[in-house]
Amino acid sequence: MNRVYNFAPGPSTLPLPVLERAAAEMTDTNGTGQSVMEMSHRSKDFKPIIEKTETLLRSLMGIPANYKVLFLQGGASLQFAMVPLNLAGVNVGEARKKAAYIDTGVWSSKAFAEAGKYVEARIAASSKDKAYSYIPAAPAPAVDDAYYHITLNNTIVGTKWASVPDTGSVPLVADISSCILSEPLDVSRFGVLYAGAQKNLGPAGTTVVIIRDELIGKAPEWVPAMLRYDIHEKEDSMYNTPPCYGIYIIGLVLEWLQNLGGVPAIYELNKQKAALFYSYLESSKLFSSPIDKNFRSLMNIPFVASGASPDKQAELEARFVKEAADASLVNLAGHRLVGGMRASLYNAMPIDGVKALIAFMDAFEKKSI
């Protein structure tokens, strides 16, 4: 079997032991004589699967007892609407509530735009002035803000918050899709955390929401049932059929992570991987990082061929991506909105993959300059 090194930003690489176990259990999961894809979500066979997944997530993240864990659908993008609807929704005729957003890239901008349909959202700070290459200082929330929203890791531009802002009594909401479980995180600092699964958790199709008890049940009656946290919490994430297979795979990934030593262990490995790659970029005459050193992501590392002449740079970068793919280093093209290249080094990317990429880049540089 020839496995490639997959540097995609999502859906992304999964741990090989997880894929192999899922393959072995495809037609007979846990001795039930059936696949998870065939199980009733309300059956005695599936209940232990979702309960184990939640228990593992709570343990690995240190989720306090006064927080609920929800397994939903719609991706992190649906949370762009669910957050304002549930935390700051109002009835027709009532004054709209306020919310603060820190604009650090495409996804935070989309979250802000969606929230503006339901609340009086404002950009409290932005790094757009420098192509989102840094994280701006976070001003204190207004006393009448219903919540304060950040994107903890910015998948497209490759920045991360160096520290969590203190928002006092105003609930802090964070999109952690591309950094969940990659390093320790104090859940108690947040009112709501949400993440699409397709980066560090499992396959696309499942969204994890972690929400403090006191923030549940605030949505006005007109909000559709499928968009209400209280409905999903009351029904234990089974108001409708949940993404059963995705939840099962998440459980296997969490078990894999636990066996590695949990979040502290993977954090050390992630720091090693990122340090190797950033160190190479610092020494390279062809490639460089466009991101402020103080805010560089561990998970998503954009890079450009800045050592090439301006008239040749785009052509050289396209050739690099193609030749890398031919060498089994795939999905290295940068996001269509920013160009260049990007290597996503999620939890499941082995350090050997990073070393292989650096070796290829070094060889490519020597023949291109």
**For every one of its 369 residues, what pLDDT tens digit does the chain have, with 9 covering 90 and above?**
689 999 999 999 999 999 999 999 999 999 999 999 999 999 999 999 999 999 999 999 999 999 999 999 999 999 999 999 999 999 988 999 999 999 999 999 999 999 999 999 999 999 999 999 999 999 999 999 999 999 999 999 999 999 999 999 999 999 999 999 999 999 999 999 999 999 999 999 999 999 999 999 999 999 999 999 999 999 999 999 999 999 999 999 999 999 999 999 999 999 999 999 999 999 999 999 999 999 999 999 999 999 999 999 999 999 999 999 999 999 999 999 899 999 999 999 999 999 999 999 999 999 998
pLDDT of residue 348: 98
Strands 341-344 and 300-303: antiparallel
pLDDT of residue 369: 82
Residue 317 has phi, psi (to 5 degrees) of: -65, -40
Residues assigned a catalytic role = 107, 175, 199
| pTM given for the model | 0.97
Contact at 8 Å (CB) between 339 and 315?
no
> Which helix (DSSP H) or strand (DSSP E) does residue 303 occupy?
strand 300-303
- Torsion, Cα of 117, 123, 129, 132 (10° steps): -80
State in words which class domain 262-368 has.
Answer: alpha beta
Hey, is 268 helix, strand or coil? helix
pLDDT of residue 112: 98
Q: Which of 346, 339, 27, 320 is nearest to 198 (CA)?
A: 346
pLDDT of residue 91: 92
pLDDT of residue 109: 98
pLDDT of residue 285: 97
Round to whole Å and give the CA distance between 302 and 281: 10
Q: Edge-to-edge strand order for the sheet containing 192-196?
A: 67-72, 207-212, 192-196, 172-175, 145-151, 98-103, 120-126
The domain segmentation of the chain, as residue ranges, is 16-259, 262-368
Q: What DSSP string describes 179-236?
A: TTTSS---GGG-SEEEEESTTTTSSTT-EEEEEEGGGTT-S-TTS-GGG-HHHHHHTT
Q: Assign 3-class secondary structure to 330-367.
A: ECCECCCCCCCEEEECCCCCCHHHHHHHHHHHHHHHHH
pLDDT of residue 1: 62
State in words which class domain 16-259 has.
Answer: alpha beta
Q: Which amino acid is at 6?
A: N
